Structure 1
Amino acid sequence: MDSPTSKPAAILEFLHFCENLKKTKRTGWIDSKISLPESIADHMHRMAVIALLLNDPSVDKDRCVKMAVVHDLAESIVGDITPRDGITKEEKSRREQEAMQKLCKDILGETPQSQEIYDLWTEYERAETREALFVKDLDKFEMIVQAYEYERSENCDLSEFFKSTEGKFTHPLVKSWVDELYRKRNETRAD
């Protein structure tokens, strides 16, 4: 049977949308006047690499890596919507749901592969599983690691990014990484 994912045109169309993730710079960094802001794809890639560092047997590492790879896929259509954009969470969710519908159902079609991508994204959005909660932590953690790196390279203060994540981390491993990042940041700022 000829499924959409076996059709080169469907795959290419999907990949062209994915290209948008490579070209679209993260809004928070643009708003903060960072000279070379990371792309959405940059952020997703490092999240997946961080997920590989998971050493908690109660959390499915492979699922977390996959989830990190697809968690912002809807942004290939809707862009990087932030709270500053004045769009409600409900409206953002609706737009992203439509985008994932287009990518996974309309373009790739009803295949096991497209269903896996859609299910991973939905699981992340619902934040009800250990894996989704871990990847949510990684999303915030990667952002503040990047903020720390920009503070150092651009000689700027990005405290607002750190403040936006305070008290929001749940996984003990990620909390330990956050503590070390804060220690390192405080040490650097004292110099």
Structure 2
Amino acid sequence: MAVNSPTHLAPPPLPSLSRSSFAFVSRIFLRPASPSAFPWRTLVSLRAQPPNTDGYASKQPLGLENSEPSFRSTGSPSSSSVIDFLTLCHRLKTTKRKGWINHGINGPESIADHMYRMALMSLIAGDLPGVNRERCIKIALVHDIAEAIVGDITPSDGVPKEEKSRRESAALHEMCQLLGGGMRAEEIKELWAEYENNSSLEANLVKDFDKVELILQAFEYEIEHGKVLDEFFHSTAGKFQTEVGKSWAAEVLTRRNSRLTNSHN
């Protein structure tokens, strides 16, 4: 999400798990982009605790240091690994998208809400030459999955793009270890990297859906909350890569412009 307020460069607190009756440890090193930027290294332990709705988790690292997830390098993940992974992913349902929080939206969408509608976009899009729709759906479902650990990092956090990518890559690796490795974990890594690198027709399309979903949500919040959220439209203007993305974005803009015109009459 694009937001304008600059802040000091500091790593956000990591989200924690949300089921109080279930605890496990997930460890991730947050290495600084350069010694001058972050002269320290933090080892974080995550444990189940109540969710936080501000886009981040509690700052207090809780954990059972002697508890380790079950790992497998091949085959299907164990039931234990699956539930560990899904419990961590619960944070995607409870972590609110911070761009909306920064704009005072009451009860904003979660990360999972955003990804779900992107997956629906991938499902209903017409057939396109050379595009695998099933792969688009998968990319949409995992493209923000690392935010279960790192949170929703926005431009207002002052985190360089390279550092944001590094944190998310490290978090994704940790999540895939939690899943137990194997084919499914490798597929998630591959799908995430494909989106991150914008390296396929499917990634191009899903990146467009990411922006379409953003401006559609902004338009809906303008209607619901009586706000003007121009910056989300400005930050995405001219950045659509596919004809589908351009067409859908144009439809959202047409409806918004019509509403703005009517409201001024």
Q: Same fold (TM over 0.5)?
A: yes
Aligned residue for 2:80, secondary structure, equals: helix
For the residues of structure 2 that align with 1:171 and 1:128, how far apart are their CA atoms?
14
Bigger helix share: 1
What are the residue-to-residue correspondences of 1:56-67 with 2, within 5 Å? 56-67=128-139
Alignment partner of 2:170 out of 78, 98, 102: 98
Q: How is 1:18-33 mapped onto 2 (pairs within 5 angstroms)?
A: 18-33=89-104
Q: 1:115 to 1:2 in 2, by over 3 A?
A: closer
Structure 1 residue 6: deviation in Å? 3.5
Aligned to 1:73: 145
SS in 1 for 2:219: helix
Task: Select 2:107's aligned residue among 20, 36, 40.
Answer: 36
Alpha-carbon distance between aligned partners in 2 of 1:87 and 1:6, rounded to the nearest angstrom: 34
Where do residues 84-95 of structure 1 align in structure 2 (5 Å cutoff)?
A: 84-95=156-167
Return the TM-score normalized by structure 2. Answer: 0.69
Deviates more, 1:39-48 or 1:9-18: 9-18
Give 3-state SS (helix, strand or coil) of 1:127's partner: coil
- Which residue of structure 1 aligns with residue 119 of structure 2? 48
Q: TM-score, normalised by structure 1?
A: 0.96
Provide runs of 4+ in structure 1 moved above 6 Å.
Answer: none
Deviates more, 1:20-29 or 1:175-184: 175-184
Instruction: Work out which of the two has the higher radius of gyration on C-alpha atoms and give 1 or 2.
Output: 2
1:108 deviates by 1.6
Residue pair 1:4, 1:107 contacting (<8 A) in 2 also: no
- Structure 2: runs of 5+ lacking an equivalent: 1-71
Residue correspondence of structure 1 range 106-125 to structure 2 within 5 A: 106-125=177-196
- Report how many aligned residue pairs link the two structures: 190
1:8 and 1:86 mapped to 2: Cα distance? 39
Q: CA RMSD in A?
A: 1.4
CA deviation after TM superposition for structure 1 residue 5, in Å: 4.4
Mapped partners of 1:2, 1:85: distance in 2: 36
Describe how 1:135-154 pairs up with structure 2 within 5 A.
Answer: 135-154=206-225
* Structure 1 stretches lacking a partner, 5+ long: none
Contact 1:4 1:108 in 2 (8 A): no
Residue 173 of structure 1 deviates from its aligned partner by: 1.2
Work out the CA distance in 2 between the residues paired with 1:76 and 1:61.
25
Q: Specify the alignment match of 2:240 in structure 1.
A: 169
Deviation at residue 57 of structure 1 after TM alignment: 2.8
